Every structure is written in structure tokens, then in C-alpha cells.
Structure 1
């Protein structure tokens, strides 16, 4: 993968995780590499689209496990392996 693609992936990921210092850093890298701002904007939009999709799925999952007030149902949910925060 060339450096321009890496920089575009990095700035899109930075947007997805809401990291302002990362966005600034990767924008400077994109500028240094001569990447067109339209391509940078597209990468950021893709990152934000991924973040919105993830947030939407998480909101739906939260509603599913706690939104209906049925604690027994939430305790019986099969747990994903997730990030490793739970056994």
C-alpha cells in the first residue's frame, strides 16, 4: 500500500473515532504528500459513514438489551466476545 493510501485510511479512521489531534496530524500528512483535498474529504466522509453505522447498530443493540425494561431477557442474551471487557 502506498503512503497516500495509508494517509487517506488514517484520516478516515481518525474521523471515525472522533480524534481531533489525529485529524490534524493526518491532514498535515495528506498535505505534505500532495493529496487533493477532495480525496481527503471523501476519506473523512467514509470514516464518518462507518462511525454512524456503528453507532446506529449499537443504539439498536442497547434498545434490544435494556430498552424494554426486561432484565431477565438482557441477562439471557448471548454475549459476544466484544473488546474483552467482560469474561
Structure 2
């Protein structure tokens, strides 16, 4: 069985190592990102490069989320972002006053 790895495809260990923190960002996996961040630093990547990969992944993920919201709106005939006006909820700062929130 012939198995192709990412390193075989990209032929650049730095690129492969840089993709990983971006993928962890897109997956919202904090433990993955922390682990891959350390590996990226050990591989000689700069914090600026790692941040760039994470920011790019966030932009791509945001675009995908916007497309998903649009599809939800289309299928359900709703505005996914619309929120009902909710009355302020007690915040717990003053247990004697259950009518006020900190935002009031």
C-alpha cells in the first residue's frame, strides 16, 4: 500500500507544520492548538507565522459560518441572527435586588 503524507505533497516541513495550528484553529480545538503551537515553535516557526496561520483559518471558518447561517435562513425562512429583545436578567451582584442587572 502506497501512503502519501502531507510532507510528500508539500515537500516542505515548514508548510506542513504551519498548516496544523491553522487546522486546530478552524476545529476550535484548544488542546490541539496548544500542542501544535509548541511543535511549530520547536520546528523554528515564528509566533508571527503561527498567528498568521491561525488568523487565516479564522477568516476561512467565519466565511463558512456565514454560508451556514445563510443556508439555515433559506431552509427555515428565518433570520438566524435575529434575537428577541430579552428583559435584563439579575446578575447576582446584589442578591437582595432581583430586578436589576449590571447592565441596567
TM-score tier (shorter): 0.7 to 0.9
TM-score where L is the length of structure 2: 0.62
Give runs of ≥4 in structure 1 deviating > 2 Å: none
Matched, 1:63 2:73: yes
TM-score where L is the length of structure 1: 0.74
Unaligned runs of 5+ residues in structure 2 are: 1-9, 79-104
Q: CA RMSD in A?
A: 0.9
Whose RCO is larger (CA < 8 A, sep 6+)?
1
Q: Which has the larger radius of gyration?
A: 2
Unaligned runs of 5+ residues in structure 1 are: 69-87
1:1-87 to 2 correspondences below 5 Å? 1=10, 2-68=12-78
> Relative to total residues, which structure has the larger helix share, 1 or 2?
1
